[in-house]
Amino acid sequence: MNRGAAPWGPDGQPEQLISEEERRFTTSGEIAARLGVPRPAASQVLDRGQALLQPEFAATEAPFRSGLLDASKTSLVVRRLQDADAEVAAAVQERILPRAPRRTASQLSRDIDRELAALEPGGVSSRRKRNVTRRHVARPREAGEGVHEMRLLLPNLDAFLLDATLDAIAASARAAGDQRTLSQLRADAITGMTLRTLQGSQHVACRNTADTDDADYDDTGGTAPGAAPADVATFGRAGLMPDGVPLAGAAGGAQWPGGAGPPLVDPHRHRPRVPATRNQRQRRCHRPVRRAVARRPRSRLQREKSARQARESRAHH
């Protein structure tokens, strides 16, 4: 007879021997092996299937099962409506699904945003905050021989700021005579800035601040007289911002947009081609250089005259 611990919990429920994360990892691995897809893609299949089993997504499950909606559009609807109320989600699906098969993914996303704003105007701020918390940089994914691609999900202002910064760096390099395309310059700029920030700030991030923290506090647990506040002692003296990003490295990485290696624009080797005014572009000497006469002069006086004119022209210019 088995005299071990009973498999039941104190409330009469079976004890959970496997956590939810382990169960999800195992299931996604089996799906990936069966379908021959990466584990992230298998995780998306698992999430989509679990969401379509919910009653509020029955309207989306029917066209997906019949083939009217593809996997990307179905995942989009589930992802955008899974945090909304059941009544609001059902109303949005009722309005967008009749046209969804003929809409692109971006058009369907705008339709969902418009219907959510019309049906639940008070939830715009909460949805925006929830979407901002989902910001991330995806892992590299193979996109061909020798190249990988990465995907960034950023807040609106951060995305536009990064795009404008890369455009400015690429335009400056092109004006200095760089022969790379704008797309190549944008890719090299973001890689170079990242490497420069890493090289310039790793020694600051690894600095031990225990001695400064101990000196700033007395035995009673308070702040010693004349000591810096806790946030300054923790971040300011270590050169770190409140979110842990090295301040010196972040500032130093922006000095040379080209990154760790030679910058995109070397001021010692390149001179930016700044468009001049019309007068500067058309500025010229009113006394042009006299070109040498191709044919041989016929007399000594003509030869002396030509030599004198050439000397005067060189002296003038």
Q: Does 72 share its domain with 175?
A: no
Q: Does 28 share its domain with 112?
A: yes
Q: Does 35 share its domain with 111?
A: yes
- DSSP run (H or E) holding 149: strand 148-149
Contacts of 159 (CB under 8 A, 6+ apart): 152
pLDDT at 233: 39
Residue 83's CB is within 10 A of a number of other CB atoms, namely 12
pLDDT, one tens digit per residue, over 250-268 is 444 444 444 444 444 444 4
The beta-carbon contacts of 77-84 under 8 Å, at least 24 apart in sequence, are: 77/108, 77/112, 78/47, 78/48, 78/51, 78/52, 80/109, 80/112, 80/113, 80/116, 81/56, 81/57, 81/112, 82/51, 83/127, 83/130, 84/116, 84/120, 84/123
What domain count does the chain have?
2
Q: Does 72 share its domain with 163?
A: no
Q: Which of 93, 108, 136 represents a domain boundary (last residue)?
A: 136
- DSSP run (H or E) holding 142: strand 141-142
Q: Does 118 share its domain with 164?
A: no
pLDDT in tens, the chain (317 residues): 445 555 555 666 666 677 788 888 899 899 999 989 888 888 888 989 888 888 889 899 989 988 889 988 999 999 888 888 888 888 999 999 999 999 999 999 999 988 888 888 777 778 888 888 889 998 888 888 899 999 999 999 999 999 999 999 999 999 988 899 999 999 999 988 888 888 776 656 555 544 444 444 444 444 444 444 444 434 444 455 444 544 444 444 444 444 444 444 444 444 445 444 554 444 454 444 445 444 555 677 888 888 888 888 777 65
Q: Does 93 share its domain with 175?
A: no
Handedness of CA 10, 13, 14, 18 (dihedral sign): negative
Q: Does 113 share its domain with 158?
A: no
Q: Does 156 share its domain with 223?
A: yes
Q: Does 128 share its domain with 181?
A: no
Would 170 be classed as within a structural domain?
yes
- Given a contact cutoff of 8 angstroms between Cβ atoms, the answer to whether 67 and 95 are in contact is no
Would 168 be classed as within a structural domain?
yes
Q: Which of 253, 283, 305 represents a domain boundary (last residue)?
A: 253
* 136-137 and 152-153 beta bridge pairing: antiparallel
For 163-204, what is the HEC assignment? HHHHHHHHHHHHHCCCCCCHHHHHHHHHHHHHHHHHHHHHHH
Q: Does 128 share its domain with 159?
A: no
Q: Does 47 share its domain with 129?
A: yes
Q: Does 118 share its domain with 177?
A: no
* Region for residue 67 given its phi and psi (left: phi exceeds 0; alpha: psi -120 to 50; beta: otherwise): left
Structural domain boundaries, residue 41: 21-136
Structure tokens at 293: 């006469």
Would 15 be classed as within a structural domain?
no
Q: Which of 253, 268, 302 represents a domain boundary (last residue)?
A: 253
